[in-house]
A and B are shown apart, each in its own frame.
Chain A
Amino acid sequence: MINSKREDKTLAYQLITFVFVITLIAFVVITTFTQILLRRHISKTQLDNMKHLAHESIYLIDGILNHVEQNLHMLCIMLSDRRFSKEEIESVISEAIQHDNSVHSITLAENIPAHQSALVFFKENGKLKVNDIKDINYFFGDWFQIPLMLKKSYWTEPWVDSQGSSELIISFSAPYERDGIGGIASYGVSLKELQSLVIDSQCMEGGNSFLISANGTLVAHDDMSLVMNHSLFSLADEHNEPKLRELGYNMIAGETGFMHITRSTMLKNSWIFYQALKSNGWSVGVSVRRDVLYKDMRILLLINVFSAIILFLVVAYIIYNRAHELTKPLRELSEAALRIGGGEFDTHIPDSDAGLEVSTLSQSFRFMQESLFDYIQSLRITTDEKDKIRGDVIYAGEVQTKLIPANTDHPFGIKDLRAYGILEPAGDVGGDLYDYFMIDEDRFCFVIADVVGTGIVAAMTMTMASTLLPSLAPFYNKSNELLRELNSFLCKTDMESNFVTALLGIINLKTGVLQYSNAGHMPLYIRKLDGEIVKRAETHSTALGVFEDLSIGFEEIRLNVGDEIIIFTDGVTEAMSREDEFFGLGGLEEVFSALHYSNPENTAKSIVSRVHDFAEGSKYKDDVTVLVIDYKHPRA
């Protein structure tokens, strides 16, 4: 079935399909490996870029914050040292405010709960301004309370400096000594400036940088609506993204690492690198969206796919044309072969220069054409001869048929007797014989015989026997004598098929006595008027034509009114079914028992019909002969 399907496809189709499959497999394998390698390379490169960006932001921010830390520590040393006058300290502060762009404000707050007093130094329109706070409870501000309690420096979360420039700032505060903790000194750094250092580092396509404070609050991000409103943890809650929460824990813990966030957040489907600042525990994150990260890879993949399709189409076109050209002589040869097959043996076999194989095929076709022509010529002569012989055989069969008595209601005008015979040769001519004739006006002779073998020789033997018996009969009274003469004749002729079984009977129409001899033939049946079947299976000699001095006996039976004599050849009993079973005497007797009335024609036809039904579809065939004689009553 597969082959038949394959045969339906043209060579070009098969070649193109093969090339397509191979190309596809090669493309998938190569592309997969290429994509994997490229992905690794791009990931490494981009992640290195992310690291670089993060490091740059961290370097810049830490630079500012470290500078602030150093300055504050210096200031605290001065504040703790009573040798420095108030004017000298304020001079240092003034210098820092006016010349250090990273310092947004400086606050000196005394630690006297009952008498709170603080000075806020800040720059406004390029000029130094000082705000003296006396009535404000600053003790609960993180910038004051936390370093006071921790007794060490502290970076605050962003807050609005309402006593300074009313901007968002972060404060670095530290206690200074003066009979215990004399107060808190605090440097304010503009959050906006820190944000710019983070946001300005978005020089990577699809990249985004963000900064979170020590408690995870987003203090710098491209999306300003998130800044100061959200922490990574609130975003994790809002978007139900545990990975974002994990990122937050890692970042506020000061860890460094990569993470991939998939769900819908501001970091949707992004790779993130994060690293903490060294100064205040804040952490910088740099994210790159995966779709941007691998954009070039997707473009490359599209180009590869497009190129592969174009290349395949070009190759397919070339294969189609070349295959079409190569198969052209084959198609011509095919057409020539069809014409030769149709009988046009003079069809021209085309020459081909398409290649050695096609040229060799043309020569083979030409040789085949010549051989076929000779063979056909020879076959034609043989067929003519065979047809002639067959015509002769058919004629012989017709002659043989004409030698058999024609079925009539009352043969030879005898009212007392009916006879009906059927002879169906297996071939054009048969080796069976039946005949009946009047020896004289009182004796009715009948015979049935079967020559071993079939074909023209057996037919000739039977033809000779059928012509011999009527001529001999008037000179003999007994059935065995007639058969003995026939045996002598057969032995003398020494023909190839002279082995004959025969049953010959003579009915004396006056006495009703049947005298018969069975020379190795099938049994004789007599069907009585009441349906009783009498079987006469005894033979009186072996078959004729073998032993010249053959001794043949005979037997006499007195026939009763309505007795039906049934004789047949072995073609009846040895008829084979499709299952290789014989019809046998049993089958024959079943036919007898099914008969309802005595009629030779009906009986003979019933037997032959059943034999036909039984042997339908069988490949074995033999001559089938049945003769039925219905004897009414003796004349006496």
Chain B
Amino acid sequence: MRFLRMTAICFAIALLLLSLPACNSKQEGKVSDFEQSESGVPNDELFVLRFRQKWHPQAQFAGIYMAIDKGFYAQYGIDLRLQPHAADSLVFRTLYNKNTDIVQMDLISGIMENKDGLRVVNIGQVSQNSSQLLIGKKNRGINSIADFNGKKIGLWCSGSHYISRIFLAKEKLDMEIVPVNWSINLFTSNAIDVTNAMRFNEYNQLLQAGLKEEDLFVADLSALGYNIPDDGFYVSNDFYNEHKDICKRFMAATMDGWHYAFAHPEEALDLVLRLMRKNNIPANRSHQSWMLNEMKMLILVPDKTPGRLTKADYLRAVSLLQEFYQPVKAYPFEEFCPND
């Protein structure tokens, strides 16, 4: 029932977002902060590019919305068509079925889904770090990682559960794994003892549901040696070979959108909240502001190039997967993330 409800909402969002490029065409000729950063092409021959979001509208995707709203994609010769969202494993299926051109997945999903005869390549990396946390309540007897043993842990049934599973395996923690969707209520109602959460989203949702920071035990996986970057953009290998330039332009416009969002956070939040409310998605500014700020810290990381996946991160992800989860077909970094 919940799934259908979300599907319906996503469909409505897609209809809305599909209309955005058309709106942006009215802004042709408008000078953007990032307009001069990359070589642009005339707007009269736009390349139609289908992009499937991995979740409903929120500040996690503010850079893409700003790029659309400000006409950055059009300036780079792209007519970006947003498609209804799906979880990591499902967005991959749409790529597999050629129902989309570009999807957004976390790095481990990108590596794990690289199978079934479809090779994917990473054309850009949004998050440079992992935002994943494991959270327990102190009043439920969880004051350390060792206290996780014997407890129920809620892990997403979509692709983002891999890091948590690697963590449990490496730390040799014996926990009852409960597949969960996106609700935080299993945790607030004590149906589970430990939940996985993104710092930029669920963690703040818990605080806004009346849980106090001092009452929570938080295991920050990125600080515990499991810093495998979250979201990146993936296309099929065939698509990449055929449209390398389009992929580059997409990433340039997307990163311009992010830079604009960080430079104009209130404008970006207005846009995100407008999209969420039009789609009847519960939204409040303080949470979206938290999320945008966290995204800024995930994207603009010292010593890393914004928008690019590093070889070290890729190799660490492959290594952890191989050692603590399951064997995967690991392509050389240069093939997984070509940079030509």
Contacts and interface: CB of A to CB of B under 8 A. Distances in A.
A142 B180 CA distance: 10
Contact of A141 (B1, B208, B280, B284): B1
A143 B284 CA distance: 24
A133 interface: yes
Given A136-B4, A140-B157, A233 B209 contact: yes
Nearest to B5: A162
A160 B8 CA distance: 11
A214 B2 contact: no
Contacts of A214: 188-189
A160 B208 contact: no
B210 A140 contact: no
B183 A142 contact: yes
Indicate the member of B2, B4, B183, B286 with the most A CB atoms within 10 Å.
B2
A220 B204 CA distance: 22
Interface string B3-35: 111001000000000000000000000000000
A160 B212 CA distance: 28
A379 B286 CA distance: 102
A71 interface: no
Nearest to A145: B186
Nearest to B192: A149
A20 B178 CA distance: 80
B178 A237 contact: no
Given A231-B209, A252-B210, A162 B8 contact: yes
Nearest to A231: B208
A156 B184 CA distance: 12
A585 B48 CA distance: 133
B2 A154 contact: no
A146 B2 contact: no
A233 B157 contact: no
B212 to A, nearest CB: 8
A149 B178 contact: yes
Contacts of A614: none
B188 A234 contact: no
A163 B4 contact: yes
A272 B183 CA distance: 30
B208 A159 contact: no
Interface string A172-187: 0000000000000000
B191 interface: yes
A468 to B, nearest CB: 126
Given A216-B210, A233-B207, A133 B284 contact: no
Given A157-B185, A234-B287, A216 B208 contact: yes
A142 B210 contact: no
Contact of B3 (A120, A137, A159, A161): A137
B185 A215 contact: yes
Nearest to B286: A237
B322 interface: no
B1 A133 contact: yes
Indicate the member of B4, B152, B277 with the most A CB atoms within 10 Å.
B4
Contacts of B188: 214-215
A154 B189 contact: yes
A248 interface: yes
B204 to A, nearest CB: 9
B1 A136 contact: yes
Contacts of A146: 185-186, 189, 191
A270 B153 CA distance: 42
A228 B3 contact: no
Interface in A217-262: 217, 228-235, 237-238, 248-249, 252
A150 interface: yes
B186 A237 contact: no
Contacts of B183: 140, 142, 145
A146 B5 CA distance: 18
Contacts of A138: 1-3
A255 to B, nearest CB: 12
B210 A149 contact: no
A215 B210 contact: yes
Nearest to A232: B210
A237 B179 CA distance: 31
Interface in A107-154: 107, 118, 120, 133, 136-138, 140-143, 145-146, 149-150, 154
B155 to A, nearest CB: 12
Contacts of A162: 1, 4-5, 8
Interface in B60-118: none
Indicate the member of A143, A230, A234, A248 with the most B CB atoms within 10 Å.
A234
A633 to B, nearest CB: 124
Nearest to A120: B1
Nearest to B152: A149
Nearest to A146: B191
A216 B209 contact: yes
Interface string B186-216: 1011111000000000000001111010000
A560 B63 CA distance: 133
Contacts of B179: 140
B159 to A, nearest CB: 15
A114 to B, nearest CB: 14
Contacts of A238: 284-286
11 contacts: A118-B1, A136-B3, A140-B2, A141-B1, A146-B186, A150-B189, A215-B184, A216-B208, A231-B208, A237-B208, A238-B286
Interface of A: 107, 118, 120, 133, 136-138, 140-143, 145-146, 149-150, 154, 156-157, 159-163, 214-217, 228-235, 237-238, 248-249, 252
Sorted from nearest, which 4 A-B pairs have the closest CB atoms?
A215-B209, A140-B181, A237-B286, A162-B5
Given A133-B1, A141-B1, A159-B2, 18 more contacts: A138-B1, A140-B3, A141-B2, A145-B186, A146-B189, A149-B192, A150-B189, A150-B190, A157-B185, A162-B8, A163-B4, A229-B277, A232-B210, A237-B208, A237-B287, A238-B284, A238-B285, A249-B212
